[in-house]
Amino acid sequence: MVKLSPLAIVLSKMNWQNTPLPENEQFPLLEKLKGQLTPLPIPEGYDAQFENRVMRKIQAVKKFNARPKIAASIFISMAWISSAAACFFLTFHLSSNPTSNLANNPEMAYILEELHLTSEEELHEWINQNNQEITQEILLNELSEYELYTE
Amino acid sequence: MINPKWQDDEWIKRFRTEKTQEQAFRDLIRHFQPSLYAQVRRICPTHADCDDILQETFLKAWIHLKDFRGEAKLSTWLYKITHNEILNYISKAKNRNIAISEIPDLSGNSGFTSEEGIELIQKLEQAIELLPPKQKLIFCYRYFEEIPYSQIAVIMGVSEGSLKASYHHAAQKVEAHLLNG
């Protein structure tokens, strides 16, 4: 049997639901400060920028969900069975096919957005400029995040 | 604070109609983002972290809105998702040894201009910093956001009684720090 502390026994016997606790009345300094505090400001222009960013990600999720189920399940299985392999494929594919049109794929659009890149060419450059292990790890993370949204 | 004109039922109807779904979700973001931002900003020291948490929150909301049955208010449901994201953030930060103890500088956001007033605000920041993470959340939800206990209970999945006790305990610690700290 769990042994309750004396304080716990006292607290358990009190009917907190019906006993309004004298919150701020007992805390004059807190009360005084509360009247003086204003909400923390949101950076200017952030609202619209945030809204558009979320909506773009949602569009990517919607496009992904609208793909034929077989193709989606093949992609998910492939990613789940070997995300690293999928990632390697992606880097390899981009290294060997810099002009392919992967940017139209929702998962690729998501990755480009996350890496603050605007085109597949930029992604290709980014892969070439960085250590392969690091780029793979970053792409792997982005793919896992993307899968999380589309679960 | 949430605009009282917001009608959950009306909004859900628009969200469930394909034609108006996207605009409805944009309205949801516009309507709730400021209060959710404030909720997160009290806990996270940087704007970038807040931004990440809010993005996750709205994406998860979009994904799971089809399962929303209207048992709780939409605002409560969103606060709950945000709360879970904050807990994830705290636990990730712990694992990566990232300091989350510093809270945003409130001194620029007060009506105080005197040195004494600014010092008090700084003391308030320190006192909140010293609270254990969950107590800090309860304190911030109640003190800054003025969320009713009944709503916090749903958000955090705890009883109103223990919330009241926790808030009271936290407020006592903060007040004591303001007086003696």
Per-residue pLDDT of A94-142, as tens digits, reads 555 555 555 567 777 777 777 777 777 777 777 777 766 666 667 766 6
Tell me the chain B residues in contact with residue A17 when contact means C-beta distances shorter than 8 Å: 160-161
Amino acid identity at A4: L
Q: Is the pLDDT of residue B177 over 60?
A: yes
Tell me the chain B residues in contact with residue A29 when contact means C-beta distances shorter than 8 Å: 120, 175, 178-179
Helix (H) or strand (E) segment spanning residue B164: helix B160-180
pTM greater than 0.95: no
* Per-residue model confidence as pLDDT tens digits over A53-81: 999 888 887 776 666 555 556 555 555 55
C-beta atoms of A53 and B109 within 8 A: no
The two structure tokens encoding residue B74: 């939409």
| Placement of tokens 């500088």 in the chain | B105
Q: Is the pLDDT of residue B53 over 90?
A: yes
Find, among A114, A118, A121, A117, the residue nearest to A144 by Cα. A114
- Tell me what the mean pLDDT of segment B156-173 comes to: 90
Backbone φ, ψ for residue B45 (5° rounding):
-70, -25
Q: Give the residue on B whose Cα is nearest the Cα of A28.
A: B175
Supply the pLDDT for residue B121. Answer: 82
Q: Is the pLDDT of residue B38 over 60?
A: yes
C-beta atoms of A37 and B120 within 8 A: no
Supply the pLDDT for residue A16. Answer: 45
- Tell me what the mean pLDDT of segment B24-47 comes to: 88
| Placement of tokens 């510093």 in the chain | B102
Nearest CA distance, B181 vs chain A (angstrom): 13
Distance CA A143, CA B82 (A): 23
Distance CA A136, CA A139 (A): 5
What is the Cα gyration radius of chain B? 18
Distance CA B60, CA A135 (A): 27
ipTM greater than cut 0.85? no
Q: Is the pLDDT of residue B155 over 50?
A: yes
Provide CB contacts within 8 A for B144, sequence distance 6+.
Answer: A37, B38, B42
Tell me the chain B residues in contact with residue A54 when contact means C-beta distances shorter than 8 Å: 29, 55, 58-59, 62
Distance CA B82, CA B88 (A): 10
- Tell me what the mean pLDDT of segment B38-67 comes to: 88
Q: What is the mean pLDDT of chain B?
A: 84
* Per-residue model confidence as pLDDT tens digits over B96-127: 655 554 445 555 555 556 677 778 888 888 89
Find, among B100, B138, B102, the residue nearest to B122 by Cα. B102
Tell me the chain A residues in contact with residue B168 when contact means C-beta distances shorter than 8 Å: 21, 23
Confirm if A150 and B64 have CB atoms less than 8 A apart: no
Binning pLDDT at 50, 70 and 90, where does residue A17 land? very low
Q: Is the pLDDT of residue A34 over 70?
A: yes
Strands (E), chain B: none
Distance CA B11, CA A66 (A): 24
Distance CA A146, CA A143 (A): 5
Confirm if A61 and A118 have CB atoms less than 8 A apart: no
Nearest CA distance, B70 vs chain A (angstrom): 22
C-beta atoms of B22 and A30 within 8 A: no
Q: Is the pLDDT of residue B81 over 90?
A: yes
Which of B92 and B61 is assigned the larger pLDDT? B61
Q: Is the pLDDT of residue B152 over 60?
A: yes
3-class SS letters over B128-156: HHCCCHHHHHHHHHHHHCCCCHHHHHHHH
Q: Is A77 helix (H, G, I), strand (E, B) or coil?
A: helix
Supply the pLDDT for residue B146. Answer: 86
Contact residues, chain B to chain A, C-beta under 8 Å? 22, 25-26, 29-30, 33-34, 37-38, 41-42, 47, 51, 54-55, 58-59, 62-63, 104, 106, 109-112, 117, 120-121, 124, 142-144, 160-162, 164-165, 167-168, 171-172, 174-175, 178-179
8-state DSSP, A37:
B
